[in-house]
């Protein structure tokens, strides 16, 4: 595999910082460009994040002296100097859509962590272990944009990655109804306890826009490519409730599910333990060896103990049992800024690289 030059757009924010850390020693990708808002442009990266570095590990040495560019004003320079970019910016939705499309039209593929393009008909929303086949829609997107290699691909919302991966192997039984309550870490809001002290000893029963995303996005992920668009699935019925909880990292879900053909508990656990997606079959660098980990202990998984399993890229599941209203209920956990954000986007980029889309 050749080594690709990579840019991080939105490099000073929490997810941008996570990209920087995860890509530090990546075997395929080398970060050669960093960009952020005009406020940070012209500063060395170390100075741009001074006083607001949110990662537990230090700033990567190779990036400290890289001069941050302006994500908008310097886009031609950035696009011409890298093979593709990761994008995680804090802007209005229409501004993000315009920014990402402008990079794509400059023949620079965009691996997006933003929500703005998730429901653009010909933009795939990829969880690599779940719907890798959706990348084929990129050819239709490039025709619309008038590009040869420029396109946009997005990863899904972090909250659905705490439970959709666990349901994926079970779809063969016909999932009819899902109820999911998510308990989401404060890093999902780009904050830690130092910057959000109000969250200590607290719980907030509302996260703006989150329940709509959690109910709609799985249906696109489970949809099908049809002509020049992705058609969302019409089933299962999904209802969610999303809460912010005083946890630093790790989104939890309490899931209730009904099937057209009810499997046995042993069948479900066996499918979880044996499940391999395309990233595992391709041995992608960021892919967890064991995608889904099932725990028999009643008090597992736990955010503090299990969010970093397989470098934060695994999904942890536990407490599978029959339910009085649904067929089964269980709990599941994923690391929201790794699997659910930067790590998931990197694995998505690895999938495109393995299939030659950056060449």
CA atoms of 252 and 163, how far apart (whole Å): 8
Same fold, 4-158+342-354 and 159-335: no
Q: What would the mean pLDDT of 191-207 be, rounded to a whole number?
A: 97
Q: What would the mean pLDDT of 264-282 be, rounded to a whole number?
A: 98
pLDDT for 1 beyond 90: no
Q: What is the DSSP letter of 339?
A: I
The active-site residue out of 134, 242, 251, 306 is 251
Percent of the chain residues topping a pLDDT of 90: 99
CA atoms of 149 and 138, how far apart (whole Å): 9
The answer to whether 251 is a known catalytic residue is: yes
CATH architecture of 159-335: 2-Layer Sandwich (3.30)
On whether the CB atoms of residues 63 and 31 are closer than 8 A, the answer is: yes
136: CB partners within 8 A, 6+ apart: 225
| Three-state secondary-structure class, residue 8 | strand
The active-site residue out of 87, 108, 158, 242 is 158
Predicted pLDDT at 24? 97
Query: Over the stretch 132-182, which tens digit does the pLDDT of each residue have?
Result: 999 999 999 999 999 999 999 999 999 999 999 999 999 999 999 999 999
Q: Output the average pLDDT for the chain.
A: 97
CATH architecture of 4-158+342-354: 3-Layer(aba) Sandwich (3.40)
Domain boundaries, the chain: 4-158+342-354, 159-335
309: CB partners within 8 A, 6+ apart: 288, 293, 316
């Amino acid at each position: 595999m050749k080594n690709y030059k990579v840019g991080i757009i939105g490099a000073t924010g929490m997810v941008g910082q996570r990209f920087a850390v995860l890509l530090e020693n990546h075997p395929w990708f080398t970060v050669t460009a960093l960009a952020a808002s005009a406020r940070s442009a012209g500063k060395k990266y170390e100075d741009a994040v001074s006083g607001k570095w949110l990662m537990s590990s230090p700033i990567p040495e190779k990036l400290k002296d890289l001069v941050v560019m302006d994500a908008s004003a310097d886009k031609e320079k950035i696009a011409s100097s890298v093979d593709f970019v990761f994008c995680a910016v804090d802007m209005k939705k229409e501004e993000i859509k315009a920014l990402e499309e402008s990079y794509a039209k400059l023949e620079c593929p965009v691996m997006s962590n933003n929500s703005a393009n998730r429901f653009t008909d010909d933009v795939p929303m990829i969880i690599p272990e779940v719907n890798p086949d959706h990348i084929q829609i990129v050819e239709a997107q490039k025709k619309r944009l008038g590009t040869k290699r420029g396109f946009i691909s997005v990863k899904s919302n972090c909250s659905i990655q705490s439970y959709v991966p666990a349901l994926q192997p079970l779809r063969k039984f016909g999932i009819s109804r899902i109820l999911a309550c998510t308990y989401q870490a404060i890093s999902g809001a780009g904050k830690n306890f130092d910057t959000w002290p109000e969250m200590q000893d607290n719980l907030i029963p509302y996260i703006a826009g989150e329940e709509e995303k959690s109910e709609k996005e799985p249906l696109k992920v489970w949809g099908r490519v049809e002509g020049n668009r992705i058609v969302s699935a019409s089933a299962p019925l999904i209802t969610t409730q999303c809460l912010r909880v005083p946890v630093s990292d790790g989104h939890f879900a309490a899931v209730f599910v009904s099937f057209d053909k009810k499997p046995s508990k042993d069948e479900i656990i066996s499918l979880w333990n044996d499940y391999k997606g395309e990233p595992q079959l391709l041995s992608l660098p960021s892919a967890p060896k064991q995608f889904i980990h099932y725990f028999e202990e009643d008090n597992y998984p736990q955010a503090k103990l299990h969010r970093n399993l397989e470098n934060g890229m695994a999904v942890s599941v536990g407490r599978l049992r029959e339910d009085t209203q649904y067929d089964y209920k269980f709990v599941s956990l994923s690391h929201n800024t790794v699997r659910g954000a930067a790590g998931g986007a990197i694995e998505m980029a690895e999938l495109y690289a393995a299939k030659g889309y950056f060449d």
